[in-house]
Amino acid sequence: MKKLILSIIAIQLCLIAFSQVEPICHTASTEKFAMFASNSDFGAEHSMPSDYIHVSQAGGEQIQFDCPDGKAAHAYYLKAKKPTNNWIFVFQEWWGLNDNVKRESENLYNDLGNVNVLALDMYDTRLATNREDAAKYMQEFKQERGDQIVKGALKFAGSKAKIGTVGWCFGGGQSLLAALSSGKQAVACVMYYGMPVDDVEILKTLNCDVLNVWATRDKWINEKVISKFEANMKLANKKIKSLSYDADHAFANPSNGSEIYKEEAYKDAYKNTIDYFKSRFK
């Protein structure tokens, strides 16, 4: 009897401890996308980025900020010229926070006007220069750490910040997760060929609509994935606008080889992205 009572007490203590653990943002979408990395065909859809060094013309700088888990995070930061609560969080492709992401961040900064842009380093300074390392880093990424980085970024931006998010590939999925993590501060979310969240109940907590950019020749974030995402957003009573382009995955990376990068599609998607953000930051 004594053993039985002790067992019951132990179970109750475990249940209490479990109930006090802060919920972790949905990780299934991250795990599904990471599975692509083991497929060589997925890697082949990513041309090697051009070898160039981004030199900021707008005062962009590398910074560090604290995260709730006690570990510092890194980011590329472009501070608005005048004080503003408008913020864009930028999320990298599977390569990491490379010079292409910094250049795209600076383009957003220049074209949106008075806005703060923070490109988050989700790999904690690791940067891939080949497909093998990119696959490795994406598979080793833990969403728990990613959530901590976003929380640290939200604290850095401040409680009054209005948050817009954008990302490509791996970062497309992270853009949606960050918008979910931002709660009522989220005002805009742009996903470029990213893995969506499937859970309708989680999507119901999204505070903003989504601009979803995808490629009709993408074997991974394909029509089936997009159709399900749109249906789930409808069930969640959330708005989504999808833009499709006759292109392959990663078509919107100007540093890709010519066989992947599609300039006309990139420019159209970028214009829609700028228009979308401007309308949400009024």
Domains of the chain: 26-280 (3.40.50.1820)
Answer yes or no: are the C-beta atoms of 269 and 245 closer than 8 Å: yes
- The model carries a pTM of 0.89
Q: Which of 210, 194, 190 is nearest to 90 (CA)?
A: 190
Cα-based distances in Å from 209 to 94, 216, 233: 24, 22, 9
Say what the pLDDT of residue 5 is: 43
Task: Kindly list the distances between the CA atom of residue 215 and the CA atoms of 86, 172, 204, 233, 271, in Å, as whole numbers in the listed order.
Answer: 29, 13, 26, 19, 16
pLDDT of 11 reads 37
Predicted pLDDT of residue 107: 97
> Can you say whether residue 12 is alpha, beta or left, with left for phi > 0 and alpha for psi between -120 and 50 degrees?
alpha
Using DSSP's 3-state secondary structure scheme, residue 234 falls into helix
pLDDT value for 14: 40
For residue 264, the tally of other CB atoms under 10 A from its CB is 11
What pLDDT score does 70 carry?
Answer: 97
Q: What is the DSSP string of 78-135?
A: E--SS--SEEEEEE--TT-S-HHHHHHHHHHHHHH-S-EEEEE-TTTT---SSHHHHH
Judge residue 27's burial from the number of C-beta atoms within 10 Å of its C-beta, 0-12 exposed, 13-18 middle, 19 or more buried: middle
Q: How far apart are CA 143 and CA 153, in angstroms?
A: 15
**Strand spans (E) along 129-264:** 162-168, 186-192, 210-215, 240-245
Burial 113-132 (b: 16+ CB within 10 A, else e): eebbbbbbbbbeeeebeebe
Per the CB < 8 A criterion, the answer to whether 220 and 249 are in contact is yes
Half-sphere exposure at residue 258, Cβ-oriented, CA atoms within 13 angstroms: 0
- For 260, the 3-state DSSP assignment is coil
For the chain, how far is it from start to end, CA to CA, in angstroms? 67
At residue 261's C-alpha, the angle toward residues 219 and 177, to 5°, is 60
Q: Which two tokens stand for residue 93?
A: 């492709």
Residue 74 identity: H
At 47 the pLDDT is: 78
Nearest to 173 by CA among 24, 26, 22, 75: 26
pLDDT means over runs of 10, the chain (282 residues):
42 37 61 86 80 79 97 98 97 95 97 96 96 94 97 98 98 98 98 97 98 97 98 98 96 85 96 98 86
